[in-house]
């Protein structure tokens, strides 16, 4: 169930509170089999409420960071300046750099290569990569960090 703390349904705080209460009761009831009895029932419900609230706030924060999608239909080549139209050399250099990066990634160890390809070319999130490769999120982060270090070292070294 998804709530918005800053924009409650029906426009009132009372309606929002009622909706949250019903949702919390439903979550407590459906998760009752997982309740181990190590804490009091009040603590159990409090943790559900606390975690639900935190997830709600996190969700609102991630929405703020999302970019705006601009459809390609709105983009016209007439809008480009002459400088932007005349950059074949820059495009060629970027294409060559991309090929060099692909070749470098092919030399990575298998797990590092898979993590890097899924992150860069498929734009998966860490959690999605971890699920796909059946490893932990920390392993994915480590592999990507090491991959970045290798690429930085390889491409920042002066060419001889």
Residue-wise pLDDT for 6-19, tens only, equals 455 455 666 666 66
pLDDT of residue 109: 93
| Domain match, 50 and 105 both | no
- Tell how far CA 9 is from the center of its chain: 27
**Would you say residue 108 lies in a domain?**
yes
Q: How far apart are alpha carbons 101 and 156 in whole angstroms?
A: 12
Total tally of structural domains belonging to the chain: 2
Asked if 93 and 125 count as a contact pair (C-beta separation under 8 A), the reply is: no
**Would you say residue 79 lies in a domain?**
no
**Would you say residue 131 lies in a domain?**
yes
Tokens representing 77 are 């080549």
**Position 80 pLDDT exceeds 50:** yes
- Tell how far CA 160 is from the center of its chain: 39
| Domain match, 54 and 107 both | no
pLDDT of residue 86: 60
**Position 153 pLDDT exceeds 70:** yes
**CATH number, position 150:** 1.10.10.10
Domain housing 126: 101-160
Q: What is the dihedral of CA 95, 99, 102, 107, to 10 degrees?
A: -160
């Amino acid at each position: 169930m998804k709530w918005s703390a800053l924009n409650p349904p029906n426009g009132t705080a009372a309606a929002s509170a009622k909706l949250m209460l019903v949702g919390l009761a439903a979550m407590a009831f459906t998760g009752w089999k997982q309740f181990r009895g190590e804490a009091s029932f009040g603590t159990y419900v409090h943790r559900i409420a606390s975690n639900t609230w935190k997830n709600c706030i996190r969700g609102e924060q991630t929405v703020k960071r999302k970019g705006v999608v601009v459809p390609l239909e709105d983009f016209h080549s007439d809008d480009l300046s002459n400088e932007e139209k005349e950059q074949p050399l820059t495009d060629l250099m970027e294409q060559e750099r991309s090929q060099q990066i692909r070749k470098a990634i092919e030399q990575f160890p298998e797990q590092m290569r898979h993590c890097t390809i899924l992150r860069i070319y498929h734009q998966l999130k860490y959690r999605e990569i971890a699920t796909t490769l059946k490893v932990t999120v920390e392993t994915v982060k480590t592999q990507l960090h090491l991959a970045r270090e290798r690429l930085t070292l390889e491409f920042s070294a002066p060419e001889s």
